[in-house]
């Protein structure tokens, strides 16, 4: 069974637009590059040809990745800040046990990534522990190292 990707409408629209662009204009552009490189002659020692084929492979990989995300996505409300508890799409401020300063995380897909906030997946130990938590609640989760980590939810946007 495919993993469900919870996305905001804005992230879904951005990914769909990227897919549409790569699967049309992107494929046409790379086909032109490959054709131009073929015209240069011997393909076994043609750097332009090999570079274009490598670019094509990376682009096709991205297209396949986008298809999987788009086909298995669930749109979550952009109004996560109106909730009293952490849910997918929330930006949550947490303070680690023993720390004075809070850190902000977006609980959601890596495709939601923004410059101003780190992303934590709802399927990760920390993300799973935060889901459903309220402000001033202390949650505990097991880090990949096996250590138990406690964080206090100090704000939900």
3-17, 19-33, 60-74, 80-94: range with lowest mean pLDDT? 80-94
More confident residue, 41 or 48: 48
26 — pLDDT class (breaks 50, 70, 90): very high
Query: 130-139 long-range contacts, Cβ below 8 Å, gap at least 24?
Result: 130/86, 130/92, 130/94, 130/105, 131/86, 131/87, 131/88, 131/107, 132/85, 132/86, 132/87, 133/85, 133/86, 133/92, 134/84, 134/85, 134/86, 135/84
How many residues make up the chain in this entry? 157
Return all residues near 80 (Cβ < 8 A) that are at least 6 apart.
Answer: 87, 88, 89, 90, 91, 156, 157
- DSSP conformation class of 31: H
22-26, 108-112, 119-123: range with lowest mean pLDDT? 108-112
Using CA atoms, how far apart are residues 9 and 69, in angstroms rounded to an integer? Answer: 13
Q: pLDDT by residue (tens digit) across 47-89?
A: 889 999 999 999 999 999 999 999 998 887 655 445 789 988 8
Q: Structural domain boundaries of the chain?
A: 5-75, 80-156
* Assigned CATH class of 5-75: mainly alpha
Q: Are 91 and 80 within 8 A, CB to CB?
A: yes
> Percent of the chain beyond pLDDT 90?
61
| Range 80-156: architecture per CATH | Roll (3.10)
The reported pTM is 0.70
């Amino acid at each position: 069974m495919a993993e469900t990707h919870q996305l905001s409408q804005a992230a879904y629209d951005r990914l769909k637009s990227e897919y549409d662009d790569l699967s049309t204009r992107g494929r046409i552009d790379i086909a032109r590059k490959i054709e131009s490189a073929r015209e240069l002659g011997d393909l076994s020692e043609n750097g332009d040809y090999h570079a274009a084929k490598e670019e094509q492979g990376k682009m096709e990989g991205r297209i396949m990745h986008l298809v999987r995300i788009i086909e298995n996505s669930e749109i979550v409300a952009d109004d996560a800040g109106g909730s009293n508890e952490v849910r997918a799409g929330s930006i949550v401020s947490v303070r680690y046990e023993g720390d004075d300063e809070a850190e902000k995380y977006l609980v959601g897909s890596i495709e939601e990534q923004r410059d101003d906030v780190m992303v934590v997946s709802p399927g990760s130990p920390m993300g799973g522990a935060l889901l459903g938590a309220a402000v001033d609640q202390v949650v505990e989760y097991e880090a990949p190292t096996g250590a138990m980590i406690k964080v206090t939810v100090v704000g939900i946007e």
